[in-house]
A and B are shown apart, each in its own frame.
Chain A
Amino acid sequence: MNFIQNPGKLRGFEKSISIEKITRRNILKGLSAAGGFVLAAPVMSRQAFAYQTGAGAMPHGIVLDPRVFVAIAPDGIVTIVAHRSEMGTGVRTSLPLVVAEEMDADWSKVRVQQAHGDEVRYGNQDTDGSRSTRHYLVPMRQIGAAARTMLEQAAARRWGVPAAEVKAVNHEIVHGASGRKLGFGELASDAARESVPGMEGLKLKEAKDFRYLGKGQVGIVDLHDITTGAARYGADVRLPGMKYAVIARPPVTGGKLVSFDPDAALKVPGVEKVMQARGWPWPSKFQPLGGVAVIARNTGAAIKGRDALKLVWDDGANGKYDSVAYRKELEEVARKPGLVVRKEGDADSALKNADKVVVGEYYLPHLAHVSMEPPVAVADVKGDKCEIWAPVQSPGGTREDVAKTLGIPEGNVTVNVTLLGGGFGRKSKCDFALEAALLSKEIGAPVKVQWTREDDVRHDFLHTVSVERIEAGLDKSGKVIAWRHRSVAPSIASTFAAGAVHQAPFELGMGLIDMPFEIANISCENPEAAAHARIGWFRSVSNVPRAFAVQSMVAEIAQATGRDPKDMLLELIGSPRIVNLSSVKDPWNYGEPYDSYPIDTARLRKVVELVAEKGEWGRAVPKGHGLGIAVHRSFVSYVATIVEVAVDDKGKLTVPRVDTAIDCGTYVNPERIQSQIEGAAIMGLSLAKYGEISFKDGKVQQKNFDDFPVVRIDESPQVTNVYIVPPGPDTPPSGVGEPGVPPFAPALINAIFAATGKRIRSLPIGKQLEA
């Protein structure tokens, strides 16, 4: 725990720029005034808990040290470090809230400080994979409890009483027998000298004593600033002498600049310089594409200057990428056997002998993230040092990549994490920060690289494009006895290494090999697919096409056998059990140990039953309306959704009602879970109605929200209801940010079938309903 002299200096984004320096300086200052610095005990050891997570296997794992995360000032203000990136999930509030809860701190006296990118100091900071709460709930509780213990020990020492007789109550340490009290601030400097307690014997609060956890009463820390325009995003950073840059990038992935004529651009008022921007050959992970940079006194001038550039590109090997032709390729491949990635029984012969085979071939195109804040970064390179300000989901990874790209030591790179204006996986790739660093080094001044929306749509790390083909074999009674699922899509691995044609375990594990149905003969296959564009993580990743396919198939089987889709779903899920994945070489399981996070069909059934009850499955709906249901386990959470759709006689669809049940285990802030699920419905509706990035001659054919539309308020669901399954006492926390998205599209598509009798197997819906 740190003791800091002046908490005012730590508040607000600008001051967070060098938290490490500031806190260290202030500790020394504070403690030398108090009579010397006694080094506390070693960092706490990990305590065995009722469950384990995969947090330790992430790069740099977990740092369990209250001195890193907590500082207390003499006025009692407690500063808690948020080391994960805030992109709208509320994590910048919820993890510090966990620490405050265990400290018994008064939330109104807590300030949150954003960590810069330093994983040695803070542990893993990759804010992705819906991991933050599931990996950090316990560590943050332990950190808070350790800080509280140090305050209690300090008070007990001062009063000369046993530590067991004192306890923290609402920002004070209280000695019950004598009625004495000392505020956190009064104890801060003493507490900083107490040894950090080991995890063994560290007392965590009992759930019944929680003031904040699980209550949903605390608003996000940035709420006021967001509503007044004071909240700082990447684009809002301004430095003295800073230049504004936009970059013209090769229109085809892997393309190169041949020549450029800067003359017209240089005549644009405000344009100061036009220069080549360094690029890397494809694939090269997150390295910049290169091109031509226009440097100006403001962004508007830079954009106008770029419009005036004359550019000649060599499109390279992907210059023929064509989405129509590529889809045909994928479909052909999906109709032939491919690499078997899960095999139980003998699906081939069971399909041959089946009484009936239901076949569904589902297509989902590339998708762009289009976070409201397009990629943007500020860099200031001075000599062999670099400081970055950027909305990144991977502060640690950004630091590593900036250091490598500039050829300087990692310790010379400071990555300041701003608020993110949306992320959805796009900002896990730090290419835009690398661009800024390279330009700043070149021109010797701070630079802001701003992506326009057109840049964002045309040069995204796109969601893959996939054909999912499922064949279900039924016996005479209508029971499903065989399941063959071929999933063919270019892999994210293709962004890291040339020639990657099979999906990685982390993609196969998102709804393909972890399919939970109780079927005797199962074959999951992954035929080859080569990438021709940059593929990356998009919220929920491969779960989006997989849930669309699998959950559509359930309804198709129900239709083929004259069953109710919800009953069919429960029948396929089968008995409450732990799904045995021993036939899968690498089940991945979102990086979590299977013992703690198994596929538990009892929980899967529960969300279906809950949403069916609360969402009034089977209720009478007006003519032209229909109900659809879908369930999917992803990011080790269970989510079921019912969509009511209305399709008018012109084929226009509206969504009167959405009901979603989520089981995400133990949770911190139900109010933010609700907001994530509400938002997931909008994102699901957007991708189902409109989502399509297509290529012709190697170039993205869309550019902005006019031709890559997303759902607006006038077409959003009239109401989205969210039901959260109450966790058991030892239920591990699981994902929230992503799991809401996958079941939405199939629930919608199934509802459209119920309303119209039309089965949509190719997304987006587009004009398919227009008769």
Chain B
Amino acid sequence: MIKLKINGQEQSWDGDPDLPLIWLLRDEIGLTGTKFGCGQALCGSCTVIVDKEAVRSCITSVKDVAGREVTTIEGLHPTGDHAVQKAWRQANVPQCGFCQAGQIMQAAALLMDNPKPSHDQIREAMSGNICRCGCYQRIENAVHLASTGV
């Protein structure tokens, strides 16, 4: 039996310990905000925060997060008003929106680590997250907005 905390709640799993975390979240618990995009940590759609670090839940097995604290997009802020979420709305970032939860989690982790990232630091930190619609200019603007308030 593996125990972990997801969005502040105790959860346990007694199935395959090698199950990628994404499927525990999406299929077993029903936290579908975390998206499946590639399964190989290439696109960042499945990004969640484990303790204070952004990880790709598609290649992170449940046993690897035993006893740790997982935050998904649903748990980022109780009313969805994290600075990054607000900036995202202000900058009208999304098109189809599918990659955006992963982008937002990545951006939130970046700002925890580096509250005032430079232009190049934003582009580097966000480069693991693909947006096929091509919202990059707005993603960059939104991260900047979330970090500076302007």
Q: List residues of A whose CB falls within 8 A of some B CB.
A: 86-90, 219-220, 222-224, 226-233, 235-236, 238, 244, 268-270, 297-301, 303-304, 370-374, 419-424, 450, 452-454, 671, 675-676, 678-683, 704-706, 710-714, 716-717, 719-720
Contacts and interface: CB of A to CB of B under 8 A. Distances in A.
Nearest to A298: B27
B35 A373 contact: yes
Nearest to B58: A300
Contact of A720 (B30, B89, B94, B137): B137
Nearest to A420: B96
A229 B43 contact: no
B92 interface: yes
Given A229-B101, A238-B32, A713-B136, A223 B39 contact: no
B8 interface: no
Contacts of A720: 137
Nearest to B43: A705
Interface in B92-122: 92, 94-101, 104, 122
8 contacts: A228-B33, A269-B16, A298-B23, A300-B27, A301-B16, A422-B98, A423-B96, A450-B36
B130 A710 contact: yes
A219 B42 contact: no
Contact of A229 (B32, B99, B133, B135): B32
Given A222-B94, A268-B16, A304-B18, 11 more contacts: A219-B92, A300-B19, A372-B133, A373-B96, A671-B92, A675-B138, A682-B131, A712-B128, A714-B124, A714-B126, A717-B137
A679 B135 contact: yes
Contacts of B74: 228-230
Contacts of B73: 228-229
B34 to A, nearest CB: 7
B104 A422 contact: no
Interface in B31-59: 31-40, 42-43, 45
A270 B45 CA distance: 24
A680 B134 contact: yes
Contact of A298 (B28, B33, B131, B136): B28
Q: Which 5 A-B pairs have the closest CB atoms?
A: A229-B33, A682-B134, A421-B98, A88-B96, A300-B23
Nearest to A218: B92
A716 B136 contact: yes
A681 B74 CA distance: 31
A230 B33 contact: yes
B42 A675 contact: no
A88 B95 contact: yes
A705 B58 CA distance: 14
A679 B35 contact: no
A298 B32 CA distance: 13
Secondary structure of the B contact surface, majority rule? loop
A423 B20 CA distance: 26
A682 B136 contact: yes
A450 B26 CA distance: 13
A224, A675, A711 interface centre (most CB from chain B within 10 Å):
A675
B30 to A, nearest CB: 6
Contacts of B137: 678, 716-717, 719-720
B85 A373 contact: no
A681 B130 CA distance: 15
B94 A220 contact: yes
Contacts of A372: 35, 37, 43, 45, 96, 98-99, 130-133
A445 to B, nearest CB: 15
A235 B32 contact: yes
B133 A679 contact: yes
B72 interface: yes
B42 A706 contact: yes
Interface residues of B, number: 61
B39 A233 contact: no
A705 B134 CA distance: 15
B33, B36, B96, B124 interface centre (most CB from chain A within 10 Å):
B96
A101 to B, nearest CB: 19
B139 A270 contact: no
A453 B99 CA distance: 14
Contact of B37 (A298, A374, A423, A671): A374
A324 B135 CA distance: 34
A432 to B, nearest CB: 14
B95 A679 contact: yes
B67 interface: no
A706 B30 CA distance: 29
A269 B15 contact: yes
A422 to B, nearest CB: 5
Nearest to A268: B16
Nearest to B88: A227
Contacts of A89: 95
Nearest to B127: A714
A423 to B, nearest CB: 8
A709 to B, nearest CB: 9
Contacts of A719: 137
Contacts of B36: 235, 299, 374, 450
Contact of B35 (A222, A235, A304): A235
A224 B42 CA distance: 26
Contacts of B38: 453, 704-705
A244 B27 contact: yes
B137 to A, nearest CB: 6
Contacts of A678: 134-135, 137-138
A215 to B, nearest CB: 13
B97 A419 contact: yes
Contacts of B37: 372-374, 453
Given A229-B73, A301-B16, A453-B39, A419 B96 contact: yes
A420, A452, A453 interface centre (most CB from chain B within 10 Å):
A453
B123 interface: yes
A719 B140 CA distance: 11
Contacts of B35: 233, 235, 372-373, 421
B19 A706 contact: no
B4 interface: no
Nearest to B90: A219
A303 B39 contact: yes
Nearest to A90: B95
Contacts of A229: 31-34, 72-74, 101
Nearest to A236: B32
A735 to B, nearest CB: 16
Contacts of B42: 453, 704-706
A298 B27 CA distance: 6
A713 B80 contact: no
A717 B35 CA distance: 26
Nearest to A682: B134
Contact of A224 (B45, B89, B139): B89
Contacts of B99: 372, 421
Contacts of A450: 36
B92 A223 contact: yes
B126 to A, nearest CB: 5
Contacts of A706: 40, 42
Nearest to B102: A372
Contacts of A235: 26, 32, 35-36
Given A235-B36, A714-B124, A227 B27 contact: no
B70 interface: no
Given A224-B80, A299-B23, A713-B126, A675 B95 contact: yes
B22 interface: yes
A422 B133 CA distance: 7
A372 B34 CA distance: 13
A308 to B, nearest CB: 13
A227 B80 contact: yes
Given A372-B35, A675-B135, A679-B95, A713 B129 contact: yes
B30 A238 contact: yes
A373 B26 contact: no
B78 to A, nearest CB: 10
Nearest to A712: B127
